[in-house]
Chains A and B, each alone.
Chain A
Amino acid sequence: MVYKDGTRAVEGISFSVDEGEFFGFLGPNGAGKSTTIKVLTTLLRKTSGRVSVSGYDLDESPNDIRRSMGVLTQETSLDVDLTGWENLHLQGRLQQLHGKQLDERVSELLKLVQLEDVAKKPVGRYSGGMRKRLDLASALIHNPKMLFLDEPTTGLDAQSRTAIWEYLEDLNKNHGITIFLTTQYLEEADRLCRQLSIIDHGKLIAKGSPSELKKALGGDTIALTLGPSVRAKAKEVLSTIQGIYSVLDSETGVAAYAKNAGQIVAEVVTTLDRNDIHPSFLSISSPTLDDVFLEKTGRRIRSEELLRKETEPFLM
């Protein structure tokens, strides 16, 4: 996908998602996640390649795709002048529902996302979490087989985020809805997705289930908090210890990777002590998806999250 100004947003990616899957696209901002989801959901015309969604070809039957999918865009797109009920009702009408069937579906969804009490209030008076839940309900109005979610919890507080996660898990497990989700949150990808693709600079860099991806790293992380002056020395010393196969810089010091970190941690401490290096903090952890990203790109997702820009309108 190449934009008019020549930016190559996504290039040479290929993947498939099975029916009933919970599939995630993990990557930092600007990786190409939103571009991919815009192409898949018919909002953006791709410059080359082939896409098929729910068995329909993107170029030939975009309206069939629109009928079979629900989309939750990154920014909450509701009409703040209308009530919750009116928003769902309008969305239902535009998805070609009508009459009693539509009224019943609206009530059912308001109940599902626990907004029945405020259904008659204008959305302008809803909190961020309530709006996101209503937006999710509106994406489900026409009983789609597939749900696309573009960073569904970005900007939400922890409680609202957990609520959205629970709804999504329920929809996937108990209603058989295939879910395609993009996220920059490691925890979200780890908890929800059964299959994951990691994307960076418009290219797919890893594929697999979260546990497979972590296992492939093959070891634990020993994170050491150290002052900048001793980091180089620490890296040199640590790499001589048997069992440690890689030592990398981290934001607060260095990170050493080993198969069974618990068994060599004593040696790590004594070796550093002998060399007059005294870490102010030491922790051992099993690999995370962030380690997977670090291994593939040499950067961490976490630090990039902090530089996150304001979300832009979904439509380019």
Chain B
Amino acid sequence: MGIPYDTESLFQRGLTKMIRNPTLLVTYLVEPIAFLVLFSQMFTKLGEFLPSTAGGYVAYLTPGILVFCALIASPQGGVSIVNDINSGFLSKILLTQSSRAAILLGRLLTDVSLSVGEAVITIITAMAMGVTISTGLPGVLLIFLTVAFFEMALSGLFLAIGIATRKTETLSAVSGFLYLPLIFLSTAMFPTSFLPGWAQTASNYNPVTYIADVARELVSGGLNLNTLVEGYALTGVIALVTFAATLYQFRKVIS
């Protein structure tokens, strides 16, 4: 009973709804395969400019696809909560004894599980394309944890925007505006040495860079503690900020 029980109930609901929407589910799960194959073909020449330790362009791109897919999936929670507000379903939950925090946690967990599912497919696809994960199974598990952390931070952002605006149109506009700059002004797709000076500076301040670097370290580097701590600390801070923003917006709804 209490928060874990309510979170589990709402998480279960989120998963069931996702499974009942096969078009959405298949789109998300095919996405990592399509993007990894497509981008690695398109930018294959970049491999020649990478240091020999990078393990080829597919290995370099794999973390990029991990963060790209997480970014694209992140507005789902926001969309769901907007639908729940507008359909009256959120009121129905608020009229029960359910813990209020569980409403957000259940939703975050649903989003995180979708992203981790995508990450699993990304890693399998990368391995099928010849990438060796240098850190082995512990590294793979840490990759999933990284993606889960990142998704929690992003999902919180869209939950906050969704609750504040109560419009799914706004969510798709904001996410559409954010994806490409966040991905291309970072180390996700290619090393920053390919970017002009100002973009390199932007990349250094882009959180996506840090997440991509952590994932890259785990794919083709080693278990470098400094990079891991830096990446997790940054994601943790972002997750805290977005979750606080969500809670702030949510309190306005429930009081």
Contacts and interface: CB of A to CB of B under 8 A. Distances in A.
Contacts of B12: 90
B229 interface: no
B97 A82 contact: no
B91 A314 contact: yes
Given A66-B95, A81-B16, A81-B21, A94 B89 contact: no
23 contacts: A42-B95, A43-B95, A71-B92, A73-B88, A73-B95, A77-B89, A79-B13, A81-B17, A82-B17, A82-B20, A90-B12, A91-B92, A93-B9, A94-B9, A94-B96, A95-B96, A95-B98, A122-B20, A313-B85, A313-B88, A315-B85, A315-B91, A315-B253
B1 interface: yes
B91 to A, nearest CB: 4
B111 interface: no
A95 B9 CA distance: 11
For B9, B92, B94, the residue with the greatest tally of chain A CB atoms inside 10 Å of its CB is B92
Contact of A45 (B89, B91, B94, B255): B255
B89 A79 contact: yes
B90 interface: yes
Interface of A: 41-43, 45, 63, 66-67, 71, 73, 75-79, 81-82, 86, 90-91, 93-96, 98, 122, 138, 313-315
Interface of B is mostly: helix
B87 interface: yes
Given A81-B21, A82-B13, A82-B16, A67 B97 contact: yes
A101 B20 CA distance: 27
B194 interface: no
Contacts of B89: 77-79
Nearest to A71: B95
A81 B95 contact: no
Interface string B18-43: 00110000000000000000000000
A42 B6 CA distance: 19
Contact of B97 (A75, A96, A313): A96
Nearest to B9: A93
A77 B88 contact: yes
Nearest to B102: A94
B95 A41 contact: yes
A313 B5 CA distance: 27
Interface in B76-108: 85-98
Contacts of A67: 97
Contacts of A73: 88, 91-92, 95
A63 B97 contact: yes
Contacts of B92: 71, 73, 77-78, 91, 138
A98 B255 CA distance: 28
The 10 closest A-B pairs by CB, nearest first: A77-B88, A94-B96, A94-B98, A93-B9, A77-B92, A314-B91, A315-B91, A81-B17, A314-B88, A71-B95
A147 to B, nearest CB: 12
For B86, B98, B253, the residue with the greatest tally of chain A CB atoms inside 10 Å of its CB is B98
B82 to A, nearest CB: 11
Contact of A43 (B5, B17, B91): B91
Contacts of A63: 97
Contacts of A79: 13, 17, 89
A71 B17 CA distance: 24
A190 B101 CA distance: 42
A46 B255 CA distance: 10
A159 to B, nearest CB: 24
B139 to A, nearest CB: 37
Given A81-B16, A315-B253, 7 more contacts: A42-B95, A43-B94, A73-B88, A77-B87, A78-B92, A91-B96, A98-B5
Contact of B91 (A78, A95, A313): A313
B87 A313 contact: yes
A73 B95 CA distance: 10
A44 to B, nearest CB: 9
A94 B255 contact: no
Contacts of A45: 255
Contacts of A94: 6, 9-10, 93, 96-98
For A78, A81, A94, the residue with the greatest tally of chain B CB atoms inside 10 Å of its CB is A94
Contacts of B86: 313
Contacts of A42: 94-95
Nearest to A79: B89
Contacts of A122: 20
Nearest to B89: A77
A200 B254 CA distance: 27
Contacts of A315: 85, 88, 90-91, 94, 253
A90 B9 contact: yes
A52 B112 CA distance: 41
Contacts of A96: 1, 5, 97
Contacts of A66: 95-97
